[in-house]
Structure 1
Amino acid sequence: MTSHHPRSNGPLHGVKVLDLSRVLAGPWATQTLADMGAEVIKVERPDVGDDTRQWGPPFTTTKDGGRGDAAYFMCANRGKKSVELDMASPEGADTIRKLALECDVVVENFKVGGLKKYGLDYDSLSAINPRLVYCSITGFGQTGPDAHRAGYDYMIQAMGGLMSVTGQPDGAEGAEPMKVGVAVVDVFTGLYASNAILAALMHARATGEGQHIDIALFDVQAAVLANQATNWFVSGKVPTRMGNAHPNLSPYQPFPCSDGMIIIAVGNDSQFRKLCEALGQPELGTDERFAKNADRVANRELLIPILKTLTQVHTMTDLMQRLEDHGVPCGPINRIDQVFNEPQALHRALMVEQSRDDLSAPVKTVASPIRMSKTPVRYDRPPPALGADNHDVLSRLKD
């Protein structure tokens, strides 16, 4: 358990972000910017707030024993200021325009055209602040036959092909397309959005010219098909579900031990030979059926049963030590609680602990993986209570 205290100004110190987004993709992007030092003002619906404040259980507990915000909200809103504004009212929309005039970035994830009726769309806000970087996050983008459709992570995992390559293969027990256990499309979308925002900020600083960024969950999911998409481009063969096996590498999957399972991830021929040495069968490493990766992939149905016979006589601890001694990548299949108790996780301080005045216990979130030597990320604000910064932010607005 690690407690983080305020640090020196981050690399985005002086950048001001107006966050009109909710749920995960947009808030993930703006939390990344906040961690790097940007001032992020999160606009929320009065008395309701971001939808994810209610996405529980589990919920935090207030000091009087009541129900606090959902853990889901906490994961993506660290480092922000919360302001309650009703953009559907003329007064609320006018206040948001005043905030946008003072900001460098706006992030929103409303349906295409949804903010135009309030005068909060890109054209309206860029007219009063030409240097504004305005990032729109939607399911399908600002153009195209599906632009009007709402998009959620689960449906995009399905429509974007990820579920077709995730899960047990046809014919195996429990075979069906599977979603990933984390909303990875939203998270990847947030990361692509924050990258695009940083690039647009560099352009704006150099030219004084802002721009509209159009980020779509569907586009992101297609992009992160990565080698699976390119496998199809090159071969014409549509990738399928392979369970825990890898389409381009072998052996690269779980293997049984006498007391559980571990992952063995062989990435080249040298590592395969070292694996065979560690298992006491060095001749297997030069067998012409398995010596080259392409041969191992082609002959995996022969190879994997042989390796499983060799691994299952060892305990997890013994086998991982043998493999480590031979330089073969391997690791346990951890539960989430075990992840944060790994010595490496403790050393890298992967859990951030912060206090919030209204809650009975500290808020714990996962640390940013960004490590910068001169301008480290900062953790100087916990995920905010709804409307906690109304006075601080709104009292500074110019009439």
Structure 2
Amino acid sequence: MTRPDEELDGDRRHGPDTALRVVELSSGVAAKVCGRLLAGLGHDVILCEPPGGDALRTQGPLDEHGVGFAFSSLDADKRSVVVDLDTTDGRTALGHLLDRADLLLTDLGPARARAVGLTAPEIRGAWPGLVAVSITAAGLDDPRSDHPGDSLLAECYGGLASMIGEPDRPPLSLGGEQAAHAAAFAGFLGGMLALRRRAHVAQGDVVDVALCDVAAYIDWKSDIETTVAGTAPTRTGATAGQWRIVRAADGWVGIIFQPEQWDLLIELAGESAPASAPDQEQGWPVIERWAARLPKRTVYERAQALGLAVGFSADLGDLHGDRQYGSRSFFRGPRQDGRTVAPVGPPARAEGLPWRSGPPPALGDGGLAAQAWKHAGRQPPSTPTVHTPVPAPREGSSPRNGSVAPLAGVTVLDLGTITAGAATGRLLADYGATVIKVESASHPDPFRQWPVAGQPPSANGRDISPMFESNNAGKLAVVLELKTEAGREMLHRLAARADVVIENFTVGVTKRLGADFETLRAVNPRLVYLSLSSQGQNGPEAGRRSYGSTLDLLSGLASVTGYLGGGPMWSSAEVNYPDQAASLFGAGLVAYCLERGVRDVHLDLSQRELISWTLADRIAEHTATGALPVPTGNRRPSGTPHDVYPCAGDGQWVAVACRRQAERDALAGLVAPEELTGRSEEWWWEHEALVDELIGVWTRVRPRAECARALTEAGVANAPVLSAAERGREPRFRERRVFLGDGDSRRKGFPLTMRGYVPPDPAPAPALGQDQEAVLADPSLTGGKETP
């Protein structure tokens, strides 16, 4: 429902009567981000706040009106009602809202959920047509979720933090709240899957997303390497290894290249190349001297002109002056009436999809409108209209218990490669879509032969890399030579019967191959076409090359990731965080369009912009104050102390994150009662360095398990920093199917669970062109014409 004073991009494909009704019970970032996505897309999101308001309203840093930048960014375009869940009247009011809601977004832990009658069985019993999305620290039933979801703790327990930072320094959390944002993208995907399935089976569901599971899912490559090689990889940092971050005259640049490009890189730096790859170490001083003489953007421009995926570390000031962002209107200016708006535009662009960039709600401003829900004449969601017939599941993919897969009957043409595109297709296949991977025999997906530490090279060149397996399990495979007329004709015949096309080529390639949106929409005007590109489909830098590490830098994420007082840090090639986040959000966006009936749409997902979007609160602060955020280690404004601490034993760490004064008081009595007992919250903030030192004195003499046990018993939120090997021994990740199989069959699993649907283990990734004959002979996929 669009208020008259709201900014709306694009045309609405759905009238106000079909906007989703969303109830949000949130105190942490993840559920709020999920609600922000739905509010931005034009849906009616009611934020239920406790008496006195949401804690983020007054969490600093604050704007000139005394509102936290985090609140104004994450809660923009929502409406607010005051609901006291500790009273009968409050719980009754919430029940009235849920009676007419489509979606509930919640981050209540299990104890709180039991207290207010919102456990999964209670939700499914009282509101059988409701889709509930729970996004918590460790899952609906895990007592660790009684603490607020915290990205540092999630990234530590999920193993991701062990991969970020320098190898001889403490593990790092990615800047901002990245695990929370990625979990929100998973929640968005899960909510759309459950809504689509509701249309088939006339029943709601409870989607369970755990931040630590999502962090582990993002770090899937470490799991594969650990299983194959028998030893867990660790963080490589930015000052050693094949790729490095070096100083430029006015900042930092990331030197990113493939081994065969080394000579080209040295020539760019103005000197002859070392004789062989083992001599690279003597070449790095050459590169460092060259980069140090030039502005960082000059290094970036010159390297990109030669096809090198070099990136410069953009701080938030650089982003505001960036010509690519300016050409795409990524930033939003002040409204004419002076009211604050969300500082950034949509996380993805498409003509026909709305995006609102309005202000956050005043406390209780949605009260009257929310009451109207109670008396609305609209059909309750407990008896939804089934918009499409239930298709028969395809052979070999029948879900367990005979239930209908959320994406059953959907056909996807997957032109994606490596991670971003291919992983999006894998997610859609996981939930029932028929995904056809399209490759060229001469240029197959490079991940097919991607080397993995500990794995011998393929003897015949045909063995599938476990990296390829993880992103392509459950798909069908065909070979089409799109540089030929016959190959393009067959692609068009497949596209005519498809529902979705996914591609992540460099901008301009699909047009040359006859696989671009305009060409394919001519043969099928009902397509949902997703482009996952580095910087978007238009703009002066649209054609630039990148890897995940390039985007860490260009997005601004690296500028806020790093050690206190130090330089920028990336997620590294071992993680490539932007690729993983883009696949989660890309799959969610496709599922959204399928669920809402949005067709004939080109979804333009710039991976760079998506990661910048996760820093919206920092961007808002910079816009308002001019302050440039810098790396703060693991410290965050959400609480203190908030860091990792060394334990007895080599490379052993435990993370602590206190958001409440009661936790700080409990921690004081445990680690340093004489120095810390009775201290005010303000004192803890003012003496963070001293507190960190005192905690470290206590942890250093104790094994990690003992530290974690004592902290947990005291009621202090904590997590061990797990390596990939240690994570693999944790029962929860196997039980929740975050990873599947063992040995040669090891692959990533699922980022979420659904109470009403359990996806089957996917079939093995296909060999090149494995399903050629079956696919091209299937009239339901090619239109019944004779294949060439």
**Shared fold per TM-score greater than 0.5:** yes
Unaligned runs of 5+ in 2: 1-222, 224-396
Residue 757 (structure 2) pairs with residue 365 (structure 1): no
Question: Structure 1-normalised TM-score?
Answer: 0.87
The match for 1:137 is 532
In the TM superposition, what whole-angstrom CA distance separates every residue of 1:356-396 from its partner, at most 9, and x where no partner exists? xxxxx642112102211222223231222211111111121
Map 1:1-399 → 2, pairs under 5 A: 7-8=399-400, 9-58=404-453, 68-170=463-565, 175-181=566-572, 182-204=575-597, 209-233=599-623, 235-259=625-649, 260-279=652-671, 281=673, 284-288=676-680, 291-292=681-682, 295-353=683-741, 362-396=744-778, 397=782, 398-399=784-785
Q: 1:343, 1:282 → 2: CA distance?
A: 39
Contact 1:204/1:210 (<8 A) preserved: no
Change (3 A) 1:230 1:299: farther
Q: 1:59, 1:280 → 2: CA distance?
A: 45
The match for 1:358 is none
Unaligned runs of 5+ in 1: 355-360
Q: 2:728, 2:624 → 1: CA distance?
A: 40
* More displaced 10-residue stretch of structure 1: 64-73 or 220-229: 64-73
Q: 1:339, 1:88 → 2: CA distance?
A: 45
**CA deviation after TM superposition for structure 1 residue 333, in Å:** 1.5
Change (3 A) 1:285 1:120: same
**CA deviation after TM superposition for structure 1 residue 116, in Å:** 2.1
Q: 1:48, 1:114 → 2: CA distance?
A: 13
**CA deviation after TM superposition for structure 1 residue 12, in Å:** 0.7
**CA deviation after TM superposition for structure 1 residue 322, in Å:** 1.1
**CA deviation after TM superposition for structure 1 residue 134, in Å:** 0.7
Contact 2:736/2:753 (<8 A) preserved: no
Q: 1:25, 1:59 → 2: CA distance?
A: 25
Q: 1:46, 1:65 → 2: CA distance?
A: 16
| Structure 2 counterpart of 1:26, one-letter code | G
Q: 1:230, 1:343 → 2: CA distance?
A: 41
Q: 2:476, 2:677 → 1: CA distance?
A: 58
Contact 1:257/1:316 (<8 A) preserved: yes
| Structure 1 counterpart of 2:718, one-letter code | C
**CA deviation after TM superposition for structure 1 residue 158, in Å:** 0.8
Q: 1:133, 1:334 → 2: CA distance?
A: 39
**CA deviation after TM superposition for structure 1 residue 228, in Å:** 3.8
Q: 1:66, 1:210 → 2: CA distance?
A: 40
**CA deviation after TM superposition for structure 1 residue 118, in Å:** 3.3
* More displaced 10-residue stretch of structure 1: 83-92 or 251-260: 251-260
Contact 1:153/1:184 (<8 A) preserved: yes
**CA deviation after TM superposition for structure 1 residue 69, in Å:** 2.0
**CA deviation after TM superposition for structure 1 residue 167, in Å:** 2.3
Contact 2:503/2:531 (<8 A) preserved: yes
| Structure 2 counterpart of 1:374, one-letter code | G
**CA deviation after TM superposition for structure 1 residue 47, in Å:** 4.8
Q: 2:737, 2:530 → 1: CA distance?
A: 31
| Structure 2 counterpart of 1:203, one-letter code | R
The alignment partner of 1:76 has SS state of helix
Contact 2:737/2:750 (<8 A) preserved: no
Q: Which has the higher contact order (CA 8 A, sep 6+)?
A: 1
Contact 2:699/2:707 (<8 A) preserved: yes
The alignment partner of 2:733 has SS state of helix
Question: Structure 2-normalised TM-score?
Answer: 0.45
Contact 2:670/2:714 (<8 A) preserved: yes
Change (3 A) 1:347 1:201: closer
Contact 1:138/1:150 (<8 A) preserved: no
Q: 1:332, 1:281 → 2: CA distance?
A: 23
Change (3 A) 1:177 1:283: closer
Q: 1:218, 1:63 → 2: CA distance?
A: 34
Q: 1:169, 1:367 → 2: CA distance?
A: 35
**CA deviation after TM superposition for structure 1 residue 162, in Å:** 1.4
Q: 2:776, 2:497 → 1: CA distance?
A: 12
In the TM superposition, what whole-angstrom CA distance separates every residue of 1:35-57 from its partner, at most 9, and x where no partner exists? 11111000011154201112213
**CA deviation after TM superposition for structure 1 residue 157, in Å:** 0.8
Q: 2:461, 2:449 → 1: CA distance?
A: 13
Q: 1:308, 1:234 → 2: CA distance?
A: 37
Change (3 A) 1:230 1:239: same
Contact 1:274/1:326 (<8 A) preserved: yes
**CA deviation after TM superposition for structure 1 residue 155, in Å:** 1.1
The alignment partner of 1:130 has SS state of coil
Change (3 A) 1:310 1:118: closer
The match for 2:90 is none
* More displaced 10-residue stretch of structure 1: 154-163 or 373-382: 373-382
Change (3 A) 1:153 1:380: closer
Q: 2:441, 2:460 → 1: CA distance?
A: 23
**CA deviation after TM superposition for structure 1 residue 330, in Å:** 1.4
In the TM superposition, what whole-angstrom CA distance separates every residue of 1:196-250 from its partner, at most 9, and x where no partner exists? 1112213337xxx421111111111211225443443454321112233335432
Contact 2:451/2:457 (<8 A) preserved: no
Change (3 A) 1:64 1:139: closer
Change (3 A) 1:197 1:331: same
Contact 2:638/2:659 (<8 A) preserved: no
The match for 1:357 is none
Q: 2:672, 2:522 → 1: CA distance?
A: 71
The alignment partner of 1:215 has SS state of strand
Contact 2:472/2:766 (<8 A) preserved: yes
Aligned length: 379
**CA deviation after TM superposition for structure 1 residue 133, in Å:** 0.6
Contact 2:422/2:471 (<8 A) preserved: yes
Change (3 A) 1:349 1:193: closer
Q: 1:242, 1:75 → 2: CA distance?
A: 34
